[in-house]
Amino acid sequence: MRKAFLAALVLLQACANHGVRPLRPQELATAPYRDSATASLTGSLMYEGGCLLFRDEDTKERYLPVWPAGSVFNGTSVIFHQPAKSDQRVVVGEEFLMTGEPAEWSQLTTPYYTRFERQCGAPPFFVSAVRPAG
């Protein structure tokens, strides 16, 4: 009986470790920097449901920005890291121009992105540059 209980406990732990966990507070989707830019969107960042999303001012569409590795979210702003450039700060709610490349979830094949897709749902957008709107 005791062995059966221990075996069941081990199986439950194995299942729990392979599930998709919720995003941690201030967790940011990142990827290696992509220099290509096929789209420019003007809008602002919003933090809802544990997800940092971008809302396009013109279309009202929401995107999940995938920031270059080295970028950091502190709860009120993103420190945007662009290789060979000074880091830039983008404040949540501040309007700015985001340049980069839209993507499909099927292009992001590593398990790292699964939790972002499940929790956030918005289509991904690889960010290559940011600047103030205007």
Distance CA 49, CA 63 (A): 14
Quick check: 24 pLDDT over 50? yes
- Which percentage of the chain shows pLDDT scores above 70? 81
Q: From the CB of residue 21, how many other CB atoms can be counted at a distance below 10 Å?
A: 10
Mean pLDDT computed over 116-122: 94
Long-range (24+ apart) CB contacts under 8 A made by 79-85 are 80/127, 80/130, 82/33, 82/128, 82/129, 83/33
Domain ranges of the chain: 24-132
Quick check: 50 pLDDT over 70? yes
Q: Does residue 97 contact residue 132 with C-beta atoms inside 8 Å?
A: yes
Structure token pair of residue 21:
């966990």
pLDDT tier, 11 (very low <50, low <70, confident <90, very high otherwise): very low
Distance CA 120, CA 53 (A): 8
> Model pTM greater than 0.85?
no
